[in-house]
Amino acid sequence: MNATTPLTALQVMQDSPMIPVIVLNDVAHAVPLARAFLAGGIRMLEVTLRTPQALACIEAIAREVPEAVVGAGTVRSKADAKAAANAGARFAVSPGYTGAVGQACRDASLPLLPGVASSSDIMMATEDGFTELKFFPAVQAGGVGMLKAWSGPFFDVKFCPTGGVTLQNAPNFLALSNVVCVGGSWLVPANVQELGDWGRVTRLAMEIQILRK
């Protein structure tokens, strides 16, 4: 897979047991962090659009670490989707779903993992053709029990639970037939970026690989 290979949402989900949710406040941290994840076996990197530096960080990773597959998280609008694509993002993740965001991602050729928290959300997303979804906030919205309940009526939908997922409870989610991967921020502990402790990120990423089904 190279930087020009088109992706599907399912391919993004299948690459690793986990998609890290990354908040970057300093562009200087983007490239070493991406390389640390690669060293630990994780290529799909969700950089959230929660800081003024996020787009520049996506651009830096796309340019300097082409072996990684950088995506944009917290995509909430058409403008977010367009800006993410222009920065070099190769997939998008949203906290919720609207038809406008879905169409904007299609227009920008960005595979989208739309966020859903209810059966109505799932029906809206699948009606627009999205069958790989982010369950968010997973634990707060019903967790494993909710996903088990959805496996009947939404038998053709695959999920990436995110929100409250930890190394301890991730195996419970990954054991479900309708879960492909999980998302979480624990691979980037609060002080790692300030300390430049990239080796810790690599070690945590390697731990995740044992969670493979």
Q: Which residues are catalytic?
A: 46, 134
Backbone angles phi, psi at 194, to 5 degrees: -65, -35
Cβ-based neighbours of 204, under 8 Å, separated by 6 or more: 40, 186, 187, 189
Radius of gyration over alpha carbons of the chain, in Å? 16
Asked whether 71 and 91 are in contact (CB, 8 A), the reply is yes
Closest listed residue to residue 51, CA positions, set 30, 19, 25, 87:
25
Strand order of the sheet with strand 158-161? 115-116, 132-135, 158-161
Give dist(CA 108, CA 79) in Å, integer: 11
